[in-house]
Structure 1
Amino acid sequence: MKSKITQSLVERAPAPERGKSSLYADSEMRGFYLIVTPTKRSFYVQSLVNGKQVRTKLGDHPAMDAKQARDAARKTLVDMRGGANPNEERRKARARGITLRGALDLHLAAKPLSQRTKDDYRYNCEQYLADWLDKPLAELGADRAAVRERHRKITEKHGAPSADSVFRVLRAVYNRGLREHPDLPPNPTTNVDYHGLRRRKVDVDAERLLAWGKVVLGLNPVRRDLHLFMILTGMRRTSVCEARASELDLGARRLHVPKPKGGAARAFDLPLSGPLADLLGHRLAENPKLHRKSPWLFPADSKSGHVAEVAQHELDGLTGHALRHTYATLALQAGVPIAELKFLLNHAAGNVTMGYLNPTLDHLRGYQEKASTYVLEALGLEWTEGQWPPRLATTPAEAASINECEVA
């Protein structure tokens, strides 16, 4: 309805029924409106902008009264008829206002990341880009030379791997901000020359593996089994250290991994071979003697209650992620196909065809058995079903010597 929009009208206009609204068009200023809903009274203007009808909100009552709204409407309508779109201007202002910290929060809230990954993102930003956290992304995007220079300085002070890691985080965070605010400048990390470090190669020659097998049997039983579990599964350090007894189903011969790399969205069940089932069964039986009522499969006298640090100087660097590399190499040599190996390692699909596949645990367990047999043999260890730990294998020469002694 048409009526002069006055303070009296704003205050006395009847509230409509729930779910409905009433529109009052000002009788003196074309394009100036009051819209009344059951909960709000808001001022709007509407006009043609470059041939298109555009409506924009001026404000709500009582924060804005009728006189203030009329003054704002007069100015805004003049600008709109001159070709300015206030909605676009607001959007650009929001884009200019989002900071690196805001984009980081947006990115972490939008993606199903594990807490560890979120902590890594925050660490990289707070440790290396602290002075940029409250800087608008628009400023970072406009100063591409400064972004490239920061990468160079981090490389110089902390090394190439750290620099590339920090800037991969910055690239992802800026891209998330750019999706939210398309008016931002292009991602400035495209001006960075990444070092492109190659994935570390792990030496798995026969002598080194045999030496590792001998040494690992002499470790503390919990750490012995932890390292053997890692080389027999290729599981990542955090997932192994945080494995709980409640996630183990020995009857079904599987271990549920609820929060691997990638968070809960990447949760999976690990099929257990015979040796793996015996290893974990042994831990269930022995752990209460060492750590009463511990929920962890690999308990320790640490703040967390489980093994947290897997470094072991006796094992000559073949620990942690190096064991994941070792497992993958040996499993492939054992005849495990690449497709099944990717599932056993819980790697992302990588292509459309892999995304279609959903093999059963029984199918994967057969290949896990094959891998376990090959790995234990490479380590020079013999496993007897139902027993743990394994023992050093007897070489042909040693067997012949034993036979000679028995004959004598």
Structure 2
Amino acid sequence: MPKSNVLPFPGADKPRRKVVEPTQAAIDALPLGSGDWVVRGVPGLVVRCGARSKTFRLIRRVAGRQVKRVLGELSLAEARRQAMTVWRDLKPRPPGTAPIPTLEEALDSYIEQKQLAPRSAADYRYMLEHYLSDMLPQRLDVLALDRAGVRARFAAIAKKHGAATAALTLRVFRAVYNWARKVHPDLPESPTTACSLPRVKPRDWALNDEELRRWWAAVRKLSPVKRAWWLTALLTGARASSVTNLKWNDVDFEKRLIRFRVVKGDRPYVVPLADWLEHWLRRYRGEDWLPNEADWIFPSPADPMRPLWPAVRNRGVPSPHHLRHTMRTRLAEAGTPPDLARVALGHALVQGVSERYITAHLLVEAVRPFINAVAERYREVMGWAKD
């Protein structure tokens, strides 16, 4: 009989897989007693709808054999996270491969290997411990597979604490993760790839002439040590911690220079001592300075062996960082070239092709005319006189 006349015998139909959408609402809507449902988009994740409960399981093939793990009665989000963790443990890894670190272990390694300044290391640790504490014990590969969860977390931080805090936390997380990825190249792309944060608006903190006059009216009423502290912050634009930790051996009255040792990024720098700042400091040292063994320029009145900060804050006086913004703005007003303005504020020079040839400490004297121009402008606005 010709083959064309042979009718094929019908075989048994393959059982159809029942698929459920990866949402909690879809899981909740599944009827009890309906059997196993595959969760779409999550490899191996199955929800079994028994007579009384719904239980998640992970079913994957490892080295040619099927492996099953019962995850339990969980929410979809928790079941997804546990499935990722279990699969990472089951998945074969090449011999000799280093174990994937947790976020906390990666942070410790990053701080140690990058040799961060103590202040920077403390800031990095604070951001992750304060805003991502529950993520610290989780492995990086597990975090990487939960992009939606990571995106939701940073959106929540932005909503509760502001875009600037969320953006800073995001930068720290991304830096730590990407550093670990260099050591563990099999790590997937950072989950922060999917994060989109509101743009942080620039801070218009520089004080105008009228605000400077009000500032001076408030500062004049302070004690001599606090008044000298604020004048130093104003006439250098230095950060609060840099001003606080000044000692007299940091000030060279002969060469008219001032050196900041405690700085962000652990990059000490030297700037010209403005003529007006020299006047105020000489006067303060001769009339009001409280001698102390530590040689602090601004000792705490309560304990001279300790520096003044944080008792320097006073109601009605803008923050020290407002004065830093003011100095940068007034330098621009005086026509200071960008590179010299960076030297004046202790900023790193931009790493362009030509900037790599610039040696910052050789530009200190070039900054002096602009520092004095800003100080002279302050004198005009606030009516200073050398009495």
**TM-score, normalisation: structure 1:** 0.66
- Classify the secondary structure of the residue corresponding to 1:300: coil
Give CA-to-partner distance per residue, 1:157-186, whole Å, 9 cap, x none: 333332222111111111111112111111
Q: Which residue number corresponds to residue 25 of structure 1?
A: none
Q: Residues 107-126 of structure 1: matches in 2 within 5 Å?
A: 107-126=110-129
Worse overlay, 343-352 or 353-362: 353-362
Distance 1:334 1:206 in 2: 15
Query: Alignment length, in residue pairs?
Result: 291
Asked whether the 8 Å contact 1:140–1:188 carries over to 2, the reply is: yes
Q: Of 227, 232, 240, which residue of structure 2 is paired with 1:224?
A: 227
Q: CA deviation at 1:291?
A: 5.0
Stretches of structure 1 lacking an aligned partner (at least 5 in a row): 1-87, 388-408
Q: Of 75, 89, 95, which residue of structure 1 is paired with 2:94?
A: 89
Q: Which residue number corresponds to residue 307 of structure 1?
A: 308
Distance 1:110 1:123 in 2: 18
- Amino acid aligned to 2:364: L
Asked whether the 8 Å contact 2:340–2:363 carries over to 1, the reply is: no
Q: CA deviation at 1:119?
A: 0.7
Asked whether the 8 Å contact 1:245–1:284 carries over to 2, the reply is: no
Q: Residues 322-337 of structure 1: matches in 2 within 5 Å?
A: 322-337=322-337
Stretches of structure 2 lacking an aligned partner (at least 5 in a row): 1-92
Distance 1:334 1:212 in 2: 21
Q: Which residue number corresponds to residue 199 of structure 1?
A: 202
Q: Which residue number corresponds to residue 191 of structure 2?
A: 188
- Amino acid aligned to 1:314: G
Worse overlay, 176-185 or 206-215: 206-215
Asked whether the 8 Å contact 2:331–2:341 carries over to 1, the reply is: yes
Q: Which residue number corresponds to residue 371 of structure 1?
A: 374
Distance 2:281 2:118 in 1: 26
Asked whether the 8 Å contact 2:236–2:345 carries over to 1, the reply is: yes
Supply the RMSD in Å over aligned alpha carbons.
2.3
Q: Residues 80-159 of structure 1: matches in 2 within 5 Å?
A: 89-90=94-95, 93-94=97-98, 96-159=99-162
Q: Which residue number corresponds to residue 345 of structure 1?
A: 345
- Amino acid aligned to 2:165: S
Q: Please list every run of at least 4 consecutive aligned residues from structure 1 whose deviation after the TM superposition is greater than 3 angstroms.
A: 282-288, 301-304
Alignment CA distance shift 1:221-1:187 (3 Å): same
Worse overlay, 181-190 or 199-208: 199-208
Instruction: Give yes or no for the alignment of 1:357 onto 2:364.
Output: no
Asked whether the 8 Å contact 1:125–1:166 carries over to 2, the reply is: yes
Distance 2:371 2:208 in 1: 21
Q: Which residue number corresponds to residue 267 of structure 1?
A: 268
Give CA-to-partner distance per residue, 1:14-46, whole Å, 9 cap, x none: xxxxxxxxxxxxxxxxxxxxxxxxxxxxxxxxx
- Amino acid aligned to 1:150: R
Distance 1:203 1:249 in 2: 29
Asked whether the 8 Å contact 1:112–1:262 carries over to 2, the reply is: no
Distance 2:280 2:112 in 1: 39
Worse overlay, 275-284 or 342-351: 275-284
- Amino acid aligned to 1:345: L
Distance 2:302 2:271 in 1: 26
- Amino acid aligned to 2:331: A
Distance 2:107 2:205 in 1: 34
- Amino acid aligned to 1:270: V
Worse overlay, 245-254 or 155-164: 155-164
Instruction: Indicate the percent of aligned positions where both proteins have the same amino acid.
Output: 32
- Amino acid aligned to 2:94: E
- Classify the secondary structure of the residue corresponding to 1:313: coil
**TM-score, normalisation: structure 2:** 0.69
Instruction: Give yes or no for the alignment of 1:380 onto 2:377.
Output: no
Distance 1:158 1:205 in 2: 29
- Amino acid aligned to 1:231: L
- Amino acid aligned to 1:347: H
Asked whether the 8 Å contact 1:331–1:375 carries over to 2, the reply is: no
Distance 2:102 2:115 in 1: 22
Distance 1:286 1:115 in 2: 36
Worse overlay, 238-247 or 306-315: 306-315
Give CA-to-partner distance per residue, 1:103-123, whole Å, 9 cap, x none: 111211122432111111111
Q: Of 236, 241, 247, which residue of structure 2 is paired with 1:233?
A: 236
Q: Which residue number corresponds to residue 21 of structure 2?
A: none
Asked whether the 8 Å contact 2:131–2:169 carries over to 1, the reply is: yes
Alignment CA distance shift 1:369-1:205 (3 Å): closer
- Classify the secondary structure of the residue corresponding to 1:184: coil
Give CA-to-partner distance per residue, 1:29-80, whole Å, 9 cap, x none: xxxxxxxxxxxxxxxxxxxxxxxxxxxxxxxxxxxxxxxxxxxxxxxxxxxx
Distance 2:206 2:259 in 1: 30
Q: CA deviation at 1:323?
A: 0.4
Distance 1:215 1:228 in 2: 12
Q: Which residue number corresponds to residue 250 of structure 2?
A: 247
Give CA-to-partner distance per residue, 1:79-112, whole Å, 9 cap, x none: xxxxxxxxx8146x42x52111121112111224
- Classify the secondary structure of the residue corresponding to 2:259: strand
Q: CA deviation at 1:155?
A: 2.6
Asked whether the 8 Å contact 1:213–1:381 carries over to 2, the reply is: no
Asked whether the 8 Å contact 1:327–1:375 carries over to 2, the reply is: no
